[in-house]
Amino acid sequence: MPAAAPLHAIRPVHPSVAEVVTVGADGSYWGGMALDWAARHASLRGGSLRVLRARADVPADVPADLGLSHTHRLYPFLPIASRPVGASPVGDLTAASATSSLLVIGCRGHRHFGLGDLVIPVLTGARCDVAVIRGTPASVHGDHRVITAMISGGRHDRQVLRRAAEFAAAHRSQLRVVHAAPTDLRASQDPDDVLHVAELQLKALNTAVRATFSLARALPHEALQHADDTDLVVVSRGESHRHINTPGPVTKAALYHSPCPVLVIP
């Protein structure tokens, strides 16, 4: 892997409108992690939190408020609204994405709040960015202070960079831009050119982040599996014309194998 590009810092970005962060909570371990992660992000962005609570298939030993009282104690000044979901969590979460800046869900939960049952269908129909919370405790808690943007040289790179930079600025983290290109596969673009264009795109976005640019001589899913020193991986939902509205293979690899939370950009 070549040496990273020099660090650079430019003007900060502040949200122009109050953000609404929506989270699905079911009282499971990952549902609780998603609730904590969403509350922390909403607080950092000066937004509000909307909690969609599961009513069915929740074990009897789970607190009735699904951990909301703890969230209120941690973030007493965060505006929090809560309502139960109906019989179709996928439909309710997808509908809520139309009025949300970010949708947050755990990678799995009690029965129907699982990756295959809920996460993939929600990602397919979501109208906003979706953060899927998974990975090591250090990554979920944001201990590494690194946000990783996975770029491909495609038309979605600018939006991936924009959102990754916004998260890095909000969480006071460094941005790591990674392009995965194995040496044994013929690439349609020169990998160094992809990184150079990404650096120019990031500078044009006028965000206040410290960034490095790295070339990973591996397949994208291999690079994602080894992202164990980052707090968030940012990927595009539509990786190609074949996967415009559905998660492609790289995104699915991140959802199933990433050691950190995954932000999917529609």
Q: Is residue 141 scored above 90 in pLDDT?
A: yes
Mean pLDDT, residues 159-181 taken together: 94
Q: Residue 238: left if φ>0, alpha if ψ -120 to 50, beta else—which one?
A: beta
pLDDT for res 5: 38
Stretch 18-27: mean pLDDT, rounded? 89
CATH topology of domain 20-133: Rossmann fold (3.40.50)
Number of other residues whose CB lies within 10 A of the CB of residue 133:
24
| Helix extents (H) in 22-156 | 29-44, 68-74, 89-97, 120-125, 137-140
Tell me the whole-structure pTM to 2 decimals: 0.86
User: Given a cut of 70, is residue 1 above it in pLDDT?
Assistant: no
User: Is residue 262 very low, low, confident or very high in pLDDT (cuts 50, 70, 90)?
Assistant: very high
Q: Which of 29-38, 109-118, 181-190 has the highest mean pLDDT?
A: 29-38
CATH 3.40.50.620 location in the chain? 20-133, 138-265
pLDDT for the residue numbered 57: 62
Using the predicted structure, report yes or no on whether residue 236 has a pLDDT greater than 70.
yes
Report the distance separating Cα 50 and Cα 23, nearest Å. 6
**215-220 contact pairs (CB < 8 A, 24+):** 215/1, 215/2, 215/178, 215/179, 215/181, 215/191, 216/1, 216/178, 216/179, 216/180, 216/181, 217/1, 217/181, 217/182, 217/183, 218/180, 218/182, 219/180, 219/182, 220/150, 220/152, 220/180, 220/250, 220/253
Q: Which of 8-12, 86-90, 254-258 has the lowest mean pLDDT?
A: 8-12
Please give the Cα distance from 47 to 45 (Å, whole number).
Answer: 5
Return the higher-pLDDT residue of 200 and 2: 200
List, in order, residues 6 or more apart from 28 with CB less than 8 Å away.
62, 106, 108, 109, 110, 113
Q: How many CB atoms lie within 10 A of CB 56?
A: 13
Separation between Cα atoms, residue 266 and residue 245, nearest integer Å: 7
Contact criterion met (CB below 8 Å) for 55 and 25:
no
Residue that wins the pLDDT comparison between 226 and 168: 168
C-alpha angle with apex 158: 157 to 161, nearest 5 degrees?
85
Output the CATH code of domain 138-265: 3.40.50.620
187, 263 Cβ separation under 8 angstroms: no
pLDDT 10s digits, 52-89: 988 656 556 566 666 788 899 999 999 999 998 887 88
With a pLDDT cut of 70, the percent of the chain lying above it is 81
